[in-house]
Amino acid sequence: MSSNITKPVSVVTGGAGFLGSHLTDRLLKEGHRVIAVDNLITGNVANIEHLAGNKDYKFINHDVTDFIYIPGQVDYVWHFASPASPIDYLRIPIPTLKVGSLGTHNALGLAKDKGAAFFLASTSECYGDPLIHPQTEDYWGNVNPIGPRGVYDEAKRFAEAITMAYHRYHGMNTHIVRIFNTYGPRMRLDDGRVVPAFIGQALRGQPLTIFGDGSQTRSFCYVSDLIDGIFRLMMSDFHEPVNIGNPREMTIRQFAEEILRITGANCPIEQKPLPVDDPKVRQPDITRAKKILGWEPKVDFDQGIRETIEFFRGRV
Ligand code: NAD
Ligand code: UDP
């Protein structure tokens, strides 16, 4: 009998992306077989090339807004497919709406058909430009549905709604994480998010581009901490949304100064216009994750940023 028969099988949509590929590595370490489903619209085969030849890993190039066909056993469906960077979802707004709505419906349908547990990668963007701070899971958010970011925020809010409906109506074992800004190796250098943007600029000796006056805040979580929280949540019996993120909050100007300090670069800081509906503050309240999952972030900011810089250093 092959040992594969007894291994749990995980399907990871968006498995060639930044988070999907790190999740895959963790699942393989936990003894799962992994089937990644990705159409590579924002993903990168370089994120998964180390898995070539791994008998417990399979890649399927497929758009999950179309019916997802996976033969055989599936125990866990992790739905991570979706553009995540603002410049990506502003460039491809309709595929973003479709993967959050039709893609989530198809991924839920797959999990239901297989009797599998389902996991939705949702986002702090569900809180929009928040009016309460820090954000707790019981806050319903302040989202502009017709603004440029609405294509992402509302798709994710719909995804949360349909996930809860499948849980309540079909009795499915579902989980929802609200991910706050996460960074680490395998982000695309040109994906426009502030971490690769500032590190890339510092390493090239270019001005760091602060949008607006830089007083808006974000709270940055290192990828291994995030993946650990996500794994714990899937294995829990908790079905309502859980924030996972690092509560260490800073302004974007402070973040730029930290990048200059850690890289040792001597670049000027340059101001660019603030994008429409850019949230002014963002910080997770992680009381729920601590209580229910026994989780809190462990990787300190300097260490996480140094690991990320090392990854980008050879790529600029
Ligand atoms: P990413 O762009 O690196 O990865 C997304 C992956 O999904 C890519 O590989 C892309 O090709 C794939 N994809 C997109 N549409 C698809 C479709 N229709 N069919 C199949 N594959 C498709 O982004 P990421 O940072 O890894 O984000 C992963 C998930 O986590 C997303 O759902 C995102 O909304 C969520 N999230 C991420 C963050 C973060 O800080 N990274 C924050 C909040 C939420
Ligand atoms: N930002 C910036 N300069 C850049 C890229 C982003 O000042 O080159 C700002 C952006 O306006 C936002 C914050 O950094 O206030 C985080 O942006 P990101 O795109 O990483 O993700 P968001 O948290 O907005 O989804």
Instruction: Give tens-digit pLDDT for 13-51.
Output: 999 999 999 999 999 999 999 999 999 999 999 999 999
Condensed to tens digits (0 to 9), the pLDDT of residues 114-146 reads: 999 999 999 999 999 999 999 999 999 999 999
pLDDT at 1 over 50: no
C-alpha to C-alpha distance for 175 and 240, rounded to whole angstroms? 7
Residue with CA nearest ligand 2 atom 4: 194
Q: How far is the CA of 42 from the centre of ligand 1 (A)?
A: 7
Contact 15, 48 (CB under 8 A): yes
Tell me the pTM.
0.98
Please give the full DSSP string across 65-110, using - where no structure is assigned.
TS-----S---EEEE--S--SHHHHHHSHHHHHHIIIIIHHHHHHH
Question: Ligand 1 in contact with 308 (CB < 6 A)?
Answer: no
C-alpha to C-alpha distance for 110 and 265, rounded to whole angstroms? 49
Question: Ligand 1 in contact with 39 (CB < 6 A)?
Answer: yes
Show me where the domains of the chain are located.
7-182+221-246+285-297
Residue with CA nearest ligand 2 atom 11: 211
C-alpha to C-alpha distance for 179 and 253, rounded to whole angstroms? 22
Atom index in ligand 2 nearest the CA of residue 216 equals 15
**Ligand in nearest proximity to the CA of 283:** 2
Question: Ligand 2 in contact with 209 (CB < 6 A)?
Answer: yes
Active site residue 152: yes
Question: Ligand 1 in contact with 38 (CB < 6 A)?
Answer: yes
CATH of domain 7-182+221-246+285-297: 3.40.50.720
Question: Ligand 2 in contact with 252 (CB < 6 A)?
Answer: yes
C-alpha to C-alpha distance for 177 and 114, rounded to whole angstroms? 22
**Ligand in nearest proximity to the CA of 190:** 2
**Ligand in nearest proximity to the CA of 23:** 1
Contact 101, 161 (CB under 8 A): no
Give Cα 223 to chain centroid, integer Å.
Answer: 9
DSSP 284: B
Band (5; pLDDT cuts 50, 70, 90): low
Question: Ligand 1 in contact with 121 (CB < 6 A)?
Answer: yes
Question: Ligand 2 in contact with 278 (CB < 6 A)?
Answer: yes
Q: Does residue 284 have a cis bond before it (omega within 30 degrees)? A: no
C-alpha to C-alpha distance for 273 and 128, rounded to whole angstroms? 19
Q: How far is the CA of 112 from the centre of ligand 2 (A)?
A: 37
Name the residue of 181, 211, 271 whose CB sits within 8 Å of the most ligand 2 atoms, as the mutation to test its pocket: 211
Band (75; pLDDT cuts 50, 70, 90): very high
Condensed to tens digits (0 to 9), the pLDDT of residues 160-187 reads: 999 999 999 999 999 999 999 999 999 9
pLDDT at 2 over 90: no
* Sequence-ordered list of residues with C-beta below 8 angstroms from that of 117, at least 6 positions apart, any chain: 75, 76, 77, 111, 172, 173, 174, 175, 234
pLDDT at 51: 98
Name 175's bridge partners.
Answer: 119
C-alpha to C-alpha distance for 165 and 159, rounded to whole angstroms? 10
Q: Go through the chain and tell me how many residues it has.
A: 316
